Amino acid sequence: MVCKEHVAFRMTLSGKTVSVHDTSGLDQVRKRLKLDPGIIRQVRAALLRSFLGEAKALQSVPFDVRHGFAAAVRLHELTPVERRDSRTDGATKLVYRTSDGHRIESVILRIQSGRSSLCVSSQTGCPGGCRFCATGRIKGGRNLTSAEVLDQVVQAGGILAAEGRRLRNVVLMGMGEPLLNEDAVYSALAALQGKDGFNLSGRHLLVSTLGIPDAIRRLTAQFPQVGLAISLHSARQTVRDDLMPLARRWPLGELRQAILEANTCQDREVMIEILMLAGVTDTEADQTALVGWLTGLRVHVNLIPYNSVGDIVFKDAPLRGSPNVRIQAMQEALKAAAFKVTRRRSLGSDIGAACGQLGGNEN
Ligand code: SF4
């Protein structure tokens, strides 16, 4: 939801009044400039579906009103400030500034030839405060607007289109906790799936959350096709409480009940993410607790290697990633209990773009 003050603030910065993602505002501009509705559809299709960029999108507007249209409509919300390309795995980190000076990041993941994913941010920091995450250390953040979430897709889509690649998947796994910004995130999800928006399949969208039960119910009821990932990390309450301070508000029993309900309204498995931390989430006690907690749920477990975000002391010991043998042991324990389990291949760690590393240059 964009508050009036925020809009007014951005108007003074940009001198433009309506985002291309604001369909009702766009319609007012259209009427004022006496434009055919088909022109607006062409501009949005060029920008949001073909990712042709600003100049080509504006070519659909008749020349005599093009200047007036360009002065009234913002095609972008974010200013690109930096691009870092991985030398090892094809990931690209894109850094932007918002109009009020926050720095946010998105990551392009070129997984296979022609199939690409984009990890987008939903907040400029995160109140989650997870011990293993750089974003959780950023103070004074705010929710992104839906237009700011969507502009990350527009700008990355343009980069991929110029390479002859197609953006296939959009995952809300970047900076921030998406379910603390429900209005903007739901509006963005609707636009991403909309036939007059980005026209992406809900099956290629995914929202990752630390696990807020009531918000999970709202998300899955409204967007049953959109994937849900839960950053569980530990099925032991005390360990989880220490690792993820904000998650203490929603005990594991309540979270499990919400996943059970999500299973009834979605025809896809819920992804359970486990960050593999040596001696913290990878012990035999963790295996037992996790298998017990997951039993009865339709899930796919994703084991995530830890990407260092500096020297972190957790319970009087440095936080370290699990050795391969412990990851293997967790994988075997889950497989033996008949769960689908995969290991995440972490991309972009050489450019500070892997899981947990976003926003790490802020401070
Ligand atoms: S892991 Fe997610 S919820 Fe936790 S601090 Fe980082 S962005 Fe926030």
Taking the centre of ligand 1 as the mean of its atom positions, its distance from the CA of residue 141, in whole angstroms, is 12
177 lines ligand 1 (CB under 6 A): yes
CATH number (1.10.10.10, 3.20.20.70, 3.30.70.3270, 3.40.50.2300) of 79-351 reads 3.20.20.70
User: Would residue 105 show up in a list of annotated catalytic residues for this protein?
Assistant: yes
Per-residue model confidence as pLDDT tens digits over 101-132: 999 999 999 976 667 999 999 999 999 999 99
How far is CA 155 from each of CA 76, 109, 187, 266, 354, rounded to the nearest angstrom? 8, 14, 18, 30, 20
Taking the centre of ligand 1 as the mean of its atom positions, its distance from the CA of residue 137, in whole angstroms, is 9
User: Would residue 355 show up in a list of annotated catalytic residues for this protein?
Assistant: yes
Strand partners, 228: 207
Taking the centre of ligand 1 as the mean of its atom positions, its distance from the CA of residue 126, in whole angstroms, is 6
Please identify every stretch of the chain with a pLDDT value under 50, giving residue numbers as ranges: 1-14, 362-363
Taking the centre of ligand 1 as the mean of its atom positions, its distance from the CA of residue 251, in whole angstroms, is 17
173 lines ligand 1 (CB under 6 A): no
Phi, psi of 261 (to 5 degrees): -70, -35
Which residue among 123, 124, 175, 177 is best mutated to probe the pocket of ligand 1, counting the most ligand atoms within 8 A of its Cβ? Answer: 177
Per-residue model confidence as pLDDT tens digits over 219-255: 999 999 999 999 999 999 999 999 999 999 999 999 9
Per-residue model confidence as pLDDT tens digits over 207-221: 999 999 999 999 999
Average pLDDT, the chain: 92
Taking the centre of ligand 1 as the mean of its atom positions, its distance from the CA of residue 231, in whole angstroms, is 9
130 lines ligand 1 (CB under 6 A): yes
123 lines ligand 1 (CB under 6 A): no
- What the block records as the tokens of 193 is 């799936």
CB neighbours (10 Å) of residue 113? 8
Torsion region of 306: left, alpha or beta (phi above 0 gives left; psi -120 to 50 gives alpha): beta
128 lines ligand 1 (CB under 6 A): yes
360 lines ligand 1 (CB under 6 A): no
The reported pLDDT for the residue numbered 307 is: 85
Q: Can you give the residue ranges of every domain in the chain?
A: 4-74, 79-351
